[in-house]
Structure 1
């Protein structure tokens, strides 16, 4: 799934070597055994193996990144990710350049996608997202988030 505004379709090359390296990492047969932590994929691309328990949507915030795409891949477990164009939100916190993150106030309406094991979402900088949402009950999740530089063509 790639979710973005049509006006941005020409902005990024999703077949770049950085994206190819990211998806090659996700095809590793040992993802389920990797310890939580940070893994270099190729220059400029980093994978973060995460283990956590999902939370109710009300306890979470929408976030965006200016410098990177997020590829969020569920290895085990089940979660929803809220999605909405950044332009539809009002700022909750100023952009933190060192961490490449900004948080946003909850909108009146937003969409969501459910990720099952083996599913991924590609989230560009223009798309706010709220990961880790529980579905019915809080559940353990093992996920890999890969940060791919958002380099315009």
Structure 2
């Protein structure tokens, strides 16, 4: 999925070599055999982070963004609702500089995408996102978040 405003539609090249390396790694790696942790794909430019968790109500989650990285969020198993909205105009709740994380107050309007096994979504620094949200009933998820340096 590609989600952007026309004003930045040509700002990033989602088929640039670093993205292609990430997509190739996701397609060719047996993620089910990997444990939770970080796996360098291309030095510190492209790094895969394998996560396992149980989804929870959207009311317990916050929208977030990153300054230095794109996220390619790939659902290896399970399902979740993935909140999306524009970063512009959001009110900052908390900044954690060392983790490249900014959390926001809940916006008045936002959308969501259902991510199921095999799905991925790419979010840029301009895209706020709220991962880990329950889709129906809570379920166990195995996800890979590939961090691609801006």
The answer to whether the superposition gives a TM-score over 0.5 is yes
Deviation for aligned residue 1:97:
2.7
Matches of 2:59 and 2:25 in 1, distance apart? Answer: 32
Deviation for aligned residue 1:2:
1.2
Deviation for aligned residue 1:37:
0.5
TM-score w.r.t. structure 2 length? 0.96
Aligned equivalent of 1:7 = 7
Aligned equivalent of 1:109 = 109
Aligned equivalent of 2:131 = 131
TM-score w.r.t. structure 1 length? 0.94
Deviation for aligned residue 1:149:
1.1
Matches of 1:91 and 1:14 in 2, distance apart? Answer: 27
Structure 1 residue 146 corresponds to structure 2 residue 146 = yes
The 5-angstrom pairing of residues 20-31 of structure 1 reads 20-31=20-31
Runs (4 or more) in structure 1 with deviation over 6 Å come to none
Matches of 2:89 and 2:104 in 1, distance apart? Answer: 10
Instruction: Give unpaired runs (5+ residues) of structure 1.
Output: none
Deviation for aligned residue 1:17:
1.2
Structure 1 residue 37 corresponds to structure 2 residue 24 = no
Partner of 2:76: helix, strand, or coil?
Answer: strand
Partner of 1:10: helix, strand, or coil?
Answer: coil
Aligned equivalent of 2:80 = 79
Matches of 1:25 and 1:123 in 2, distance apart? Answer: 18
Deviation for aligned residue 1:16:
1.3
The 5-angstrom pairing of residues 53-92 of structure 1 reads 53-92=54-93
Cα RMSD of the aligned pairs, angstroms, is 1.0
Partner of 2:23: helix, strand, or coil?
Answer: helix
Matches of 1:128 and 1:42 in 2, distance apart? Answer: 25
For each residue in 1:48-76, what CA deviation from the matched residue of structure 2 results, as whole angstroms up to 9, or x when unmatched?
Answer: 01110001000000000011100000010
Matches of 1:141 and 1:65 in 2, distance apart? Answer: 22
Matches of 2:21 and 2:133 in 1, distance apart? Answer: 28
